[in-house]
Chains A and B, each alone.
Chain A
Amino acid sequence: MLSRVAERLYWSARYLERVENTARLVSVYDELLFDLPRDIEISWYNLIEINSGVEQFEQRYKVKDERNVVKFLLSDDINPGSMLSSLKAVRENIRTTRDVVPEEMWELINELDLYARQNIKQGINRSQRHVFLNTIIEGCQKIIGLLAGAMSRDCGWHFLIMGRYLERADMNTRIIDAAVSVMLQSKEEEDVRLGQVVWSKVLKSQSAHLDYRRTVRTSINGAKAVSFLLNDPCFPRSLSYCLEQIRDAATKLPRAGLISAQIKTLSEQHYPISSSEDIDADFHDYLNDLQLKVIEINHHITESWFNFRQGDAA
């Protein structure tokens, strides 16, 4: 397989996952703000911070309010990670790799892109936002379902898997980090009330609510929620699961030794969290560190299979 084709597949999967995650994130924030007591202050602007969008946001907007934040995340073309920008990127990548994905993929992504563009106002105004974001999430899942049911498990598939789970791992740590920041900023007397709402929403954003209940079997608290989202081996959005998927896909490709070893080391690390007190500034640093490690894996994938140097041995 051509390196360029592999790279485009990898990025199409990353962007598709980003579309879904962005929709999930905005959707869950919406709910979070509904459920919080009036006296607790949480800003939409957190979403910009966790998505590393501060600089670009400030170039464009003065007011850090809901409307501008949602606009930036969903529709802004100055933001390369916005939902519409990501959809466009999926479309462009698939356009040039149509011959290695199932035929219907191109039609489905066109449909989704068209729907998003025609109805983007519904996403920005609050009244119909939920329906809009749900349709987007369903559209993404339809494509993932098509791939699962119709795509050969050859090299192309492995690059899609790596792209999807790398993006998911990245978002997983960012969402946990966002919740940690909210908790660290809050006043001590609000901690308990706030914690319950925040952590249950975090689980919900990952569709992890029910799995958590079944697996952990206790009421929701920060320490348990975080441990579940980082370490559960079976839940398909946990960090641990994502890393295992990347490793598994990589080992089926040539020259995977380095990446496989790197992921193994990363998976074996466990940050000890036994109570809510452990969710502190150190943990925040640890999450930052995790994100850097994920970026490093991306870098290695790029080096091993995409950025090709003359004279590399076959």
Chain B
Amino acid sequence: MDSLSSQYQSQDFFDELIDPKGKPRAPAKQLLNYLNSLSEEELEKRRLTAEATIQEMGISFTVYTEEGNIDRAWPFDIVPRTIEAKDWKIAEAGLKQRLKALNLFIDDLYHDQNVINDGIIPAHIIKDSKNFRPECVGVSPAFGVWAHICGTDLVRDEDGEFYVLEDNLRVPSGVSYMLENRAITKRVLPELFENDDILPVGSYTAHLFDTLAALSPRDIENPEIVVLTPGIYNSAYFEHAFLAQQMGAELVEGSDLFVDEEDDCVYMKTINGPERVDVIYRRIDDLFLDPEAFDGESVLGVPGLMRAWRKGTVALANAPGAGVADDKVVYAYVPAIIRYYLDEEPILKNVETFLCEDPEQRAYVLENLDKLVVKPANESGGYGMLVGPHSTKKEQAMFAELIEENPRNYIAQPTLKLSTAPTLISKGTLEPRHLDLRPFILQGKDSYVTTGGLTRVAMKKGSLVVNSSQGGGSKDTWIVETKGQ
């Protein structure tokens, strides 16, 4: 493997591990030296260890197909992605700043709407937002925080600068895989953890627990915290079970809970009788939460839950209505939102974004469909997107039509030169593959950012789609202290 650096080329892109001269970047030095010392066979052995570990630990995710739901083993690449600790410090500060501003923004939207009155953001954007919930107007959750758990997607451009690609404020998933990736890597490359200054990631669930516990409406020593899952057929069920187990919280389904008519409190059904619930970490979407308030057909939710939440007898994380701020049109205004509420310059940049509802910008988008990435304002999971340079004329024509029909629902961004990292493709061969990074940010009484996050990697050569539901893989993410080197 000693020819790794010379044969490896990631032209035109920022490579996370190797600099343009083919030399290891500082935080990747020990890692690459070590990988170089392994024979092809040894490297293959490590890959098989990872595979076996994933199966033993039962790390899986669910894919929906026409034949039914399939549990797939978690796709994982054994070569970690490294980031220098001092670079990460800046990103971390930027993420906290961003979530703080977004929470002030959401709270404002459901109260006085100063941000609209002061002309920072046009009224119709909120009025037309699919995720603005009139049911939430006037509610004041603890600490003024609506989005307690946020997953923000970061990418790096060709200069290595971090950009925010999107904020996920509804029910972001992936954090359990971040933790499991580290557990796998410790088994696969144990030697490196002895010598390298790789910062640990394991405290996330403890911070999550503290964040949730602080939301309890009752001032008691052991508030009852539950994780509310839509059930076994949800693609992230593994994660729901994992987080509940790690926090020592009950994993509940909607039918396990009820709201008492008399005191408007939420109870769970146990073999001892009803037990009051204080905090619900809900992993189901707003509209399924409560058939009385939203979708009357929903069997996933709990009738009366919104009533209880509005009355303040139970805390919901994330609060209903928080999704109004992860609309991709609102995204374009986040830098302005940060300046408005915090009177600070944004630490992390947005990716340049064209709003199709603006006639001038729309004209530009329609003319450059072959160069841009077009996204619907309210989808997640990488669905319903057009990646211009990889699209056909027919697809471009289809999107042109969609945009003309409903301009408010589309934004466009330049096709990014996503950074790359060496990825084990076939036996002993490392090739550059594109990746992104999803750190998780907690906000309640205090703020917390994961050390690194979940690195997702597009396993297909040249591809920019990193979603695991669409053939993406993942890597362990190392934040490395390099002082003294």
Decide if A and B are genuine partners. Answer: yes
- For the complex, what is the distance from the CA of A313 to the CA of B268, rounded to whole Å? 13
The reply to whether A98 and B253 form a contact with Cβ atoms under 8 Å apart is no
- For the complex, what is the distance from the CA of A257 to the CA of B252, rounded to whole Å? 28
- For the complex, what is the distance from the CA of A95 to the CA of B240, rounded to whole Å? 13
Chain B residues within 8 Å of chain A by Cβ, number? 23
Inter-chain contacts of A4 with B (CB < 8 A): 253, 255-256, 269
B272 at the interface (CB under 8 A from A): yes
- Identify 13 new A-B residue pairs, CB closer than 8 A, beyond the known A96-B231, A96-B232, A155-B271: A1-B270, A2-B256, A2-B270, A3-B271, A99-B245, A253-B271, A254-B273, A305-B271, A310-B260, A312-B274, A314-B273, A314-B274, A314-B275
Q: 1/0 per residue B212-241: CB within 8 Å of A?
A: 000000000000000000011000000001
Measured between C-beta atoms, what is the minimum distance from B319 to chain A in Å? 25
Inter-chain contacts of B253 with A (CB < 8 A): 4
Chain A residues within 8 Å of chain B by Cβ, number? 19
Inter-chain contacts of B256 with A (CB < 8 A): 2-4
Q: 1/0 per residue A1-41: CB within 8 Å of B?
A: 11110100000000000000000000000000000000000
A283 at the interface (CB under 8 A from B): no
The reply to whether B270 and A310 form a contact with Cβ atoms under 8 Å apart is no
- For the complex, what is the distance from the CA of A310 to the CA of B263, rounded to whole Å? 12
The reply to whether B272 and A98 form a contact with Cβ atoms under 8 Å apart is no
Q: Kindly identify, within residues 264 to 314 of chain A, every residue whose CB is under 8 Å from any CB belonging to chain B.
A: 305, 308, 310, 312-314
- For the complex, what is the distance from the CA of A308 to the CA of B274, rounded to whole Å? 9
Measured between C-beta atoms, what is the minimum distance from A198 to chain B in Å? 42
Inter-chain contacts of A310 with B (CB < 8 A): 258, 260-261, 274
Inter-chain contacts of B188 with A (CB < 8 A): none
Inter-chain contacts of A45 with B (CB < 8 A): none
Q: How many A-B residue pairs have CB under 8 A?
A: 47
A106 at the interface (CB under 8 A from B): yes
Inter-chain contacts of A98 with B (CB < 8 A): 241
Q: Kindly identify, within residues 204 to 235 of chain A, every residue whose CB is under 8 Å from any CB belonging to chain B.
A: none
Inter-chain contacts of B91 with A (CB < 8 A): none
Task: Name the one of A96, A99, A155, A312 contacting B273, with C-beta atoms under 8 angstroms.
Answer: A312
Among residues of B, the one whose C-beta sits closest to the C-beta of A6 is: B271
What 8 A-B pairs come out closest when comparing CB atoms?
A314-B273, A308-B269, A3-B269, A305-B271, A6-B271, A99-B245, A254-B272, A312-B273
Measured between C-beta atoms, what is the minimum distance from A241 to chain B in Å? 25
Inter-chain contacts of B275 with A (CB < 8 A): 314
- For the complex, what is the distance from the CA of A254 to the CA of B275, rounded to whole Å? 14
**A interface residues (Cβ-Cβ under 8 A, vs B):** 1-4, 6, 95-96, 98-99, 106, 155, 253-254, 305, 308, 310, 312-314
| Cβ contacts A to B, 21 pairs, < 8 Å | A1-B270, A2-B250, A2-B252, A2-B270, A2-B271, A3-B269, A4-B253, A96-B231, A96-B232, A98-B241, A99-B245, A106-B58, A155-B271, A308-B269, A310-B260, A310-B261, A312-B273, A312-B274, A313-B273, A314-B272, A314-B275
Inter-chain contacts of B244 with A (CB < 8 A): 99
Inter-chain contacts of A308 with B (CB < 8 A): 269, 273-274
- For the complex, what is the distance from the CA of A4 to the CA of B256, rounded to whole Å? 7
The reply to whether A254 and B271 form a contact with Cβ atoms under 8 Å apart is yes
Inter-chain contacts of B26 with A (CB < 8 A): none
The reply to whether B269 and A95 form a contact with Cβ atoms under 8 Å apart is no
Among residues of B, the one whose C-beta sits closest to the C-beta of A305 is: B271
Q: Kindly identify, within residues 262 to 308 of chain B, every residue whose CB is under 8 Å from any CB belonging to chain A.
A: 268-275
Measured between C-beta atoms, what is the minimum distance from A2 to chain B in Å? 5
- For the complex, what is the distance from the CA of A309 to the CA of B260, rounded to whole Å? 11
Inter-chain contacts of A1 with B (CB < 8 A): 270-271
- For the complex, what is the distance from the CA of A3 to the CA of B271, rounded to whole Å? 5
Inter-chain contacts of B260 with A (CB < 8 A): 310
Among residues of A, the one whose C-beta sits closest to the C-beta of B273 is: A314
Measured between C-beta atoms, what is the minimum distance from A253 to chain B in Å? 6
Inter-chain contacts of B255 with A (CB < 8 A): 4
- For the complex, what is the distance from the CA of A95 to the CA of B231, rounded to whole Å? 11
B251 at the interface (CB under 8 A from A): yes
